[in-house]
Structure 1
């Protein structure tokens, strides 16, 4: 089948058109380069996490890739596939989910500080998990409970923000209120908990990849395989909403329907990531900014934000494993230490 294609170039973007199939569009070289750079950074960080990890054993670089494919010494295969690979996979998938969720929320609210951990999504998951631990619902896994809590917080936020429609401004304000409600519930439950219950709850609340296995990685991978294609199909609506409701309406986008669909997708991504890795703070806030600055775009690119989030979580987890010799820190401690200065820097820079 023959196809005629046309290609035109400008300083900042390449436009293409194909006759068969009838496809046209534009590609910005800087966005493509940023996407490739962040994907490469995530892959290198992933390989480093699997090869180095916690402990004194280091997998040589020449044995790492064969070991990932199941070839090598039994001891090396056990170290890679049973101890380090599941943790690294959860870190990549959770970071990607947090990055995409942050990009979605920042686009639909047109607020650079909007993220799941500021709008109450992750706090809803935390409150649900702490409630299950303190009230003795031991038969329910933290993944299922955290997922239910995050989705409930997202739906509550949207319902309270609804007033013949929603706006980004109302979503942010209501989300902050929902966040503090969930935090208050969490603190109350911790004050009533036994010592061992409080220790278990705090270990999850800070964001933790310790003891993560394939039973955490598989559900998260399946969830992303379902949600990510939906997000990509909604990219046009996301771009239109970033321009404002009036412009989006003029472009033929059903604003409320598109915003609700994107909000549910973002809440779902944050919920699945939180249920697997805990509420790893600041990743959903920082990753879209990193991707946007590298790409030079006015809105955070979703897929580049995913790679940025994956890189941040994997690198932070590697630091948490190697920083102290006698213990392995929760990854949320490192992301919080790195994210708080980033937030202060961004706020200071925004005033200028």
Structure 2
């Protein structure tokens, strides 16, 4: 079901979704009041929801929906500064995904970005709503799937090879659908002695800054949207900015991040595979790789490289995942040493930090 006060947007989104034979638009509504009347007649598997609408705003409707009958909801909004903040509130209320609605150029959206909304709807449909409590977000890029080497051919030349032993450890985390809530639970349980962390959460451009700022306010550790050259240090988590890749490079025994513009990898930018592969090359056995909830296989190959380079690796278990996709693919490749429920991941990270090198 589509809920948006713009008739043009409803028409365009309906045409976008109709491109996929597995998706049926059963109804549309101009505001939440009309939407609830139609939903009582036939309940949808996924709702695509605007935020600012007459009679009832989208966030109020979302909260009402989650209390009555939890249903996967994708927020479709513009990327203004205010919109980013509003959409973060929607994630906290229980939305499982977000796609960018252009301020103009709906024809271009229909022709060029159909894959984004289609993949977001499919990801939402597979979400385990029992696990969706707050801050779930996914952003899938429809661009053709590329490997890390194709997207960033000079990766091998970045930084130097890993040191065999160093006291400077790091933790690399990859996640997608359901990951914002999962990251909040993990990061809020860590202390400032925790090894520095580098994180890829599939999220659109401009939203990662608001997400990092929110986490920084509620977590004991420092959480930042990564900037080129930021150092990976104890008690700090760097989140890859939406729309750009993040790599780790080494200078002496210290680690820094490099933010690069390059094509999407596995249809994602930032990509977990890009991050994990750089960690495998620059940190090797001095790193811990963590794969959490998410749709697809981004990061599986990179985690296998980390594993083969001597890094410790762990994955979130199926029962605690909103979508058991990315961890499952890593396990299938033999890239995972340990499988844990979400509640135990922070303890594992801290235990890793206490190990002697």
TM category (shorter chain) comes to: under 0.3
Larger RCO, structures 1/2 (Cα 8 Å, 6+ apart): 1
- The TM-score, its normalising length taken from structure 1, stands at 0.25
Larger Rg: 1
- The TM-score, its normalising length taken from structure 2, stands at 0.24
